[in-house]
Chain A
């Protein structure tokens, strides 16, 4: 279980804390949605979970990963966890891959860091992960450079790169935002399948409530660095207790909503 309690993050020079007293837990096999407008502290929370914040940010509270405390852990301890226990996929697939390295080489990166497998074994695992991420013809795509792939293909490659080391938790930070709607739907299906099959806990960060409703079991609503509401997705969407959640829901355009 990934347990977060009273997590607060203060950036130097920041007026208010970016994240304040955030508590939640994420079980393996569960998909947890994290919604909120931009600047609400969603990404900062995710980066804390991956131990990715700048060293000058002041982080307090506890983040407990399968019994291991992440806050105050040494950089070497955090590196051993990142990419191995907790993997992350980011918003911009076009820039999240290194432009001068072949795709397959980047998918196997976590294996280079965390295992002693030889090149052949790494390659086999990378190609298997790419197939699992539903990339067509992994062997051919793997030999290409990032600029030769489409956004959807790149995001699948990023997911494959996250999967390759069989992480227990996957943090997805707005991973569908840069993609078109059909690819979005495919990526959501893929995440659902991977979470079930691998018993992987997924934190799905999005500002798009429709996606969260479709994919997640539970959801957190964040605003101004705090969690304002939390609950099972059905409850949250059908009977929101908080005015803010209701406003967010009202902002979703529906088939019936009129153009004003």
Chain B
């Protein structure tokens, strides 16, 4: 309980640090939002007027404090470019990115656990070496490249889907899911390969433990030893890895959204950075940071629940 509280406190402090770093880093970037919006031909007077309107002429700490208090009250600020509430701009995009993240995560889990068990139980030396080699190869393909391959191979050649023909989930939920399966696979395949590698070596390691010998001496079959005794132990490191993956998948989807032209948080982030639309960028950075920190916190909690040896610690 005590460790839990201190970890929670660390979570809050991390988020504060991230917010401060992000805010001041954007203030240090030389390009000025007002100049970007008005173009390089604008008169200095017009730029100064816009800066005053946006509140950019006030000292930095004051702006940070105002932004932070607003943020804590749920007011994410207003976009410089669209003159729109950032919260409003984000809500639809978050739903799309969250859907992509969840799909990728579910696929990762569904692929990695059965394949990992299979890889862990292969006895044949050559088959094992082939599986390890293939796994290593798949693991090192970056998701965006796999996405490009999927667009070309599955989309253009095999016509399983039309790259770019994204449907919003409000219009056709299942149509949206069907389109998102392909970007989700591009994220899930290399991720699962990492989880398979981890699970395979954990199973190998556990199979050499004394309690496996005990189970054999009781007359348990190899399959039942694998599934009922070894797997629970071997999954412990994999659970942590998969939970942390949930955080990384979210950030990976930023790139994948570009490849598959999905109007999610990632696209908004990239366009906002090039438009110097800082309130939007800050909100997204905070969102991602909060997601990552929370997931790590929950992963830690989950590991504690799964392993009786650290449960009470």
Contacts and interface: CB of A to CB of B under 8 A. Distances in A.
A83 B233 contact: no
A113 B214 contact: no
Given A97-B211, A101-B229, A88 B217 contact: yes
A114 interface: yes
Interface in A69-128: 79-84, 87-88, 90, 92, 95-101, 109-110, 113-114
A100 B233 contact: yes
Interface in A117-167: 145, 147, 158, 161
A70 to B, nearest CB: 13
A114 B219 contact: yes
A18 B210 CA distance: 21
A50 interface: yes
A99 B213 contact: no
A114 B307 CA distance: 28
Interface in B292-313: 306-309
Contacts of A92: 210
A99 B233 contact: yes
A100 B206 CA distance: 12
Given A100-B233, A145-B309, A147-B309, A82 B219 contact: yes
Given A145-B308, A147-B309, A99 B211 contact: yes
B3 interface: no
B218 A113 contact: yes
A88 B211 CA distance: 12
A247 to B, nearest CB: 32
Given A92-B210, A96-B213, A97-B214, A113 B308 contact: no
B221 interface: yes
Contacts of A97: 211, 214
Contacts of A252: none
Contacts of B221: 79
Contact of B219 (A83, A99, A145): A83
Nearest to A93: B210
B307 A100 contact: yes
Contacts of B218: 82-83, 87, 109-110, 113, 161
Contacts of A81: 219
B209 interface: yes
Contacts of B10: none
A106 to B, nearest CB: 8
Given A101-B229, A114-B219, A95 B309 contact: no
Contacts of B233: 98-100
B211 A96 contact: yes
B210 A95 contact: yes
B232 interface: yes
A232 interface: no
Given A80-B219, A109-B220, A90 B214 contact: yes
Given A52-B217, A83-B219, A87-B218, A100 B308 contact: yes
Interface residues of A, number: 27
A142 B3 CA distance: 28
Nearest to A84: B219
A162 to B, nearest CB: 8
Contacts of B217: 50, 52, 82-83, 87-88, 90
A52 B232 CA distance: 23
Contacts, number: 70
B63 interface: no
B127 interface: no
Nearest to B216: A52
B219 A101 contact: no
A142 to B, nearest CB: 14
Contacts of A52: 213, 216-217
Nearest to B217: A88
B158 to A, nearest CB: 44
A236 B167 CA distance: 88
Given A96-B210, A97-B211, A113 B219 contact: yes
A109 B215 contact: yes
Interface string B187-226: 0000000000000000000000111011111111100100
Contact of B211 (A82, A95, A147): A95
Contacts of B236: 100
A141 to B, nearest CB: 14
B309 A90 contact: no
A117 B37 CA distance: 77
Nearest to A99: B309
Contacts of A114: 219
Contact of A101 (B224, B232, B306): B232
A146 to B, nearest CB: 9
Interface in A42-68: 50, 52
B219 A98 contact: no
Contacts of B229: 98, 101
Given A145-B309, A147-B309, A98 B220 contact: no
A158 B308 contact: no
Interface of B: 209-211, 213-221, 224, 229, 232-233, 236, 306-309
Given A100-B232, A110-B218, 6 more contacts: A87-B218, A90-B214, A109-B215, A109-B218, A147-B308, A161-B218
Q: Which 4 A-B pairs have the closest CB atoms?
A: A83-B218, A83-B219, A95-B210, A82-B219
